[in-house]
Chain A
Amino acid sequence: MQHWMEWAVAFFLLLGGSFVLIGSIGLIRMPDFFMRLHGPTKATTLGMGGILLGSIFYFSMSPETISVHELLITLFLLITAPVSAHMLIKTALHHRLKALERTLGVSELESRQMNLSAQANRSKSTDP
């Protein structure tokens, strides 16, 4: 086991861990749902990336094996994170969650929510 490899593993694990931690802190600290969403969607992707890089280095240390599974995890994480964020925020729109009062452009949000519920009512009345 080379010495510098251990340093690299430790560095990436700490980097990733701290980003995941910061994302979770954001989840607690932010005042409303829409702002809370920012921490987990962003800080966490780099955090997971760091942890997975650490894992690649750690499992590639023995001479004959090389581990690249983790790249796939990163890829799927990058694809799915924005989709789940979009699902969550869209659900918030449908549930008419209140945004923080000083949020700019709330009128746009509210008109959009009215629109959505009007659409839902229309489709309900047309259903047999």
Chain B
Amino acid sequence: MRMKPRFRWLPTPYRSLLLFIIWLLLNQSVAPFHLFFGLLLALVIPYICYRFRDPQPLIERPLLALRYILRVIADIITANAEVAILILGPLHKLQPAFVMVPLDLEHNLPLTILAGTVSMTPGTVSADIYPCVEHLAADAPIPQRWLLIHVLNLENEAELIATIKQRYEAPLKEIFKC
């Protein structure tokens, strides 16, 4: 896991790229002025803001991250269709459940992304991550943490946990190398 940026003047290159693209989208133009000004903002804003933030693991495998995003978008579309069918179908057949998923990730940023992904994908909403390590002493060992999720229609608990761990958690571990 890498917490230190590679270049001091460009601490978060992918965030800069995102800012640049957002600026162009906001102005709906690729005129030279907007290209130049967007580039300036994309360089200056992350440079100023970086020192305000808690250090987070940085993205190590950008292509894998892109694949992860595309996969999540595809999953969102199937999730929407699935949940729509469940909502319109008979209610007494639904088997709601709370499931605890053991977590291997430790840092806040990958955990947040994982919880968000779980909320957006088929039939699950993440409820809680615990125990909360912010209350522990700084040198205390980090305990095994759990993600509590609510499932709209549980079919197979072990399979669901395995899917979340392989499909979402494993790539996140690769992307942040942690």
Contact = CB atoms under 8 A, between A and B. Distances in A.
Contact of A93 (B115, B120, B127, B154): B127
Interface of A: 19, 22-23, 25-26, 29-32, 34-35, 37-39, 41-43, 45-47, 66-69, 71-72, 75, 78-79, 81-83, 85-86, 89-90, 93, 99-100, 102-106, 108-109, 112, 115, 119
A38 B127 contact: no
A85 B125 contact: yes
Contacts, number: 126
B28 A69 contact: yes
Nearest to B26: A72
Contact of A22 (B87, B98, B130, B150): B87
B88 interface: yes
B130 A112 contact: yes
Contact of B120 (A42, A90, A115): A42
A122 to B, nearest CB: 9
Nearest to A81: B120
B150 A42 contact: no
Interface in B101-127: 115-117, 119-120, 123, 125-127
B116 A106 contact: no
Interface in B57-104: 76-77, 79-81, 83-84, 86-88, 91, 94-100
A66 B30 CA distance: 12
B80 A42 contact: yes
B127 A35 contact: no
Contacts of B123: 38
B98 A106 contact: yes
- 9 cross-chain pairs, A with B, having the tightest CB-CB distances, nearest first: A104-B97, A46-B80, A82-B119, A105-B98, A26-B87, A82-B116, A42-B83, A89-B127, A103-B96
Given A41-B125, A68-B25, A109 B120 contact: no
A37 B120 contact: no
Interface of B: 22, 25-26, 28, 76-77, 79-81, 83-84, 86-88, 91, 94-100, 115-117, 119-120, 123, 125-128, 130, 132, 135, 148, 150, 152, 154, 157
Contacts of B98: 99, 103-106, 108-109
Given A22-B87, A25-B88, A26-B83, A104 B96 contact: yes
A41 B80 CA distance: 9
Contacts of A25: 87-88
Contacts of A108: 98, 100, 148
Given A69-B26, A105-B99, A108-B98, A86 B127 contact: yes
Interface centre among A31, A81, A106, A108 (most CB of B within 10 A): A108
Contacts of B117: 82
Contact of A38 (B22, B91, B126, B152): B152
